[in-house]
Amino acid sequence: MSSWKPGVKREIVSLVVIALIFLGFPAALWAYQARQTQVPGVRVIDITANAPANGGWQPDAIRVNLGERIRLRISSSDVVHGLEVPALGIAVGQILPGHVEQVDFVATRAGRFPFACTRWCSVDHWRMRGVIQVIDPENPNLALPTAAAPLFQQLGIDIDARHPAHAVPTQRPSAARGALVALDVSGDLHVQSPSDVFAAWRADAALPPRSDAQLWDAVAFAWKRAAGDDAISRGQRLYARDCAACHGESGKGDGPAGRNLPGMSAMDPMRNRGPADFTDASSMLGASDVLLQGKILRGGMGTGMPEWRSLYTDQDLWDVIGFLRSFVFDYGPGK
Amino acid sequence: MATSRFELTRVPIVKKVLVSRWLQWSLTAITLPFFLLVILAGFLGTPVGSRNFGIVFVWIVWWALLILLMLPFAGRLWCAMCPIPVAGEWLQRRALVQPREHARLYTLGFKWPRRLNNMWLQNVAFLAVALFSVVILTTPFASALVLASFVIVALVTSLLFERRAFCRYLCPVGGFIGLYSQLAPVEVRVKDRALCATHREKICYVGSDAGYGCPWLVFPAALDKNTYCGMCTECLKTCPLDNVALYARPFAADLSTNKGRRLDEAYKAFILLTCALTYSVMLIGPWSMLKETAYAVGAPGWWLYAIGFLASNVAIVPGIFYACVWLGKRIGQAAISTRQLFIEQAYALVPLGLAAWAAFSLSFVLTNFSYAWQVLSDPFGWGWNLFGTADWTWTPYFAGGQSLFQFPILLVGLIGALAIALRTARQQRISPRAALPPVAFCVIFTLALVWLYV
Q: What interface predicted TM-score (ipTM) does this complex get? A: 0.88
Q: What's the confidence (pLDDT) of residue B2?
A: 47
Question: Among the residues of A21-150, which ranges form H helices?
Answer: 25-37
What gap in Å lies between CA A252 and CA A277, rounded to an integer?
Answer: 4
Percent of chain A with pLDDT over 90: 54
A80-117 pLDDT tens trace: 999 988 888 898 889 999 999 999 999 888 888 888 88
**Where are the domain boundaries for CATH 1.10.760.10 in chain A?**
151-327
Please, how many CA atoms are within 13 Å of residue B27, restricted to the half-sphere of its CB? 18
Residues 6+ apart with CB under 8 A from A18: B29, B32, B90, B96
H or E element, residue A14? helix A8-19
Relative to beta strand A69-76, strand A61-65 is unpaired
Measured between CB atoms, which of A3, A4, A73 is closest to B383? A73
Is residue B115 packed enough to be buried (19+ CB in 10 Å), middle (13-18) or exposed (0-12)?
exposed
Distance from CA of A73 to the nearest CA of B (A): 9
CB–CB contact A10 B21 (8 Å): yes
Pick from B42, B34, B55: nearest CA to B369: B55
User: pTM score, two decimals?
Assistant: 0.81
Residue of chain A whose alpha carbon sits nearest to that of B34: A21
What's chain A's average pLDDT?
A: 88
Contact yes or no for B418/B350 (Cβ under 8 A): no
Q: How many residues does chain A have?
A: 335
A169-191 pLDDT tens trace: 999 999 999 998 888 888 899 99
Q: What does the DSSP assignment read for B63-83?
A: HHIIIIIIHHHHTTHHHHH-S
Q: What's the confidence (pLDDT) of residue B378?
A: 96
A54/B180: higher pLDDT: B180
Please, what sign has the CA dihedral across residues B264, B265, B266, B271?
positive
What gap in Å lies between CA A77 and CA A100, rounded to an integer?
Answer: 10
What gap in Å lies between CA B240 and CA B131, rounded to an integer?
Answer: 46
Residues 6+ apart with CB under 8 A from A12: none
The full 3-state SS of A204-266, as one line of letters, equals: CCCCCCCCHHHHHHHHHHHHHHHHCHHHHHHHHHHHHHHHHHHHCCCCCCCCHHHCCCCHHHH
What gap in Å lies between CA A68 and CA A171, rounded to an integer?
Answer: 57
Q: What's the confidence (pLDDT) of residue B1?
A: 43
Contact yes or no for B349/B443 (Cβ under 8 A): no
Residues of A in contact with B51 (CB under 8 A): 97-99
What gap in Å lies between CA A120 and CA A126, rounded to an integer?
Answer: 8
Residues 6+ apart with CB under 8 A from B43: B140, B141, B144, B145, B148
Write out residues in chain B with pLDDT < 50, as ranges. 1-2
Distances (CA, A) of A308 to A129, A263, A311, B122: 11, 16, 5, 57
Domain ranges of chain B: 1-257, 260-379+389-453
What gap in Å lies between CA B140 and CA A204, rounded to an integer?
Answer: 72
DSSP SS3 for A92: strand
Residues of B in contact with A33 (CB under 8 A): 380, 382, 384
What gap in Å lies between CA B145 and CA B122, rounded to an integer?
Answer: 19
Residues of B in contact with A11 (CB under 8 A): 95-98
Pick from A127, A126, A123: nearest CA to A258: A123
What gap in Å lies between CA A80 and CA B45, rounded to an integer?
Answer: 18
CB–CB contact A5 B96 (8 Å): no
Q: What's the confidence (pLDDT) of residue B85?
A: 96
CATH of A43-135, one of 2.60.40.420, 2.30.110.10, 3.40.640.10, 2.102.10.10: 2.60.40.420
A310/A221: higher pLDDT: A221
CB–CB contact B46 A98 (8 Å): yes
Read off the pLDDT band of A301 (50, 70, 90): low
Read off the pLDDT band of A5 (50, 70, 90): low
Mean pLDDT of A249-277: 81
Mean pLDDT of A58-65: 93
A193-206 pLDDT tens trace: 999 999 999 998 88
Q: What's the confidence (pLDDT) of residue A114?
A: 84
How many C-beta atoms surround the C-beta of residue B16 within 10 A? Answer: 11
**Where are the domain boundaries for CATH 2.60.40.420 in chain A?**
43-135
Please, which residues bridge with residue A101 across strands? A74
Task: Decide if B96 touches A, using CB distance below 8 A.
Answer: yes
Whether the bond between B12 and the residue before it is cis, its omega within 30 degrees of 0, is: no
Task: Decide if B383 touches A, using CB distance below 8 A.
Answer: yes
What gap in Å lies between CA B30 and CA B38, rounded to an integer?
Answer: 13
CB–CB contact B52 A98 (8 Å): yes
Relative to beta strand A90-95, strand A129-135 is unpaired
Q: What's the confidence (pLDDT) of residue B259?
A: 86
Q: What's the confidence (pLDDT) of residue A6?
A: 65
Question: Among the residues of B260-396, which ranges form H helices?
Answer: 263-279, 288-295, 300-311, 317-332, 338-346, 349-368, 371-377
Residue of chain B whose alpha carbon sits nearest to that of A15: B96
Interface of A with B (CB under 8 A): 3-8, 10-11, 14-15, 17-18, 21-22, 25-26, 29, 32-33, 36, 73, 75-78, 97-100, 102
How many C-beta atoms surround the C-beta of residue B135 within 10 A? Answer: 17
Please, which residues bridge with residue A46 across strands? A73
Per-residue burial over B66-78, b if 16 or more Cβ lie within 10 Å, else e, is bbbebbbebbbbb
Contact yes or no for B416/B252 (Cβ under 8 A): yes
Mean pLDDT of A249-254: 92
CATH of A151-327, one of 3.90.920.20, 1.10.760.10, 2.40.37.10, 1.20.1260.120: 1.10.760.10
Pick from B143, B225, B125: nearest CA to B178: B225
What gap in Å lies between CA A17 and CA B101, rounded to an integer?
Answer: 23
Measured between CB atoms, which of A17, A29, A77 is closest to B40? A29
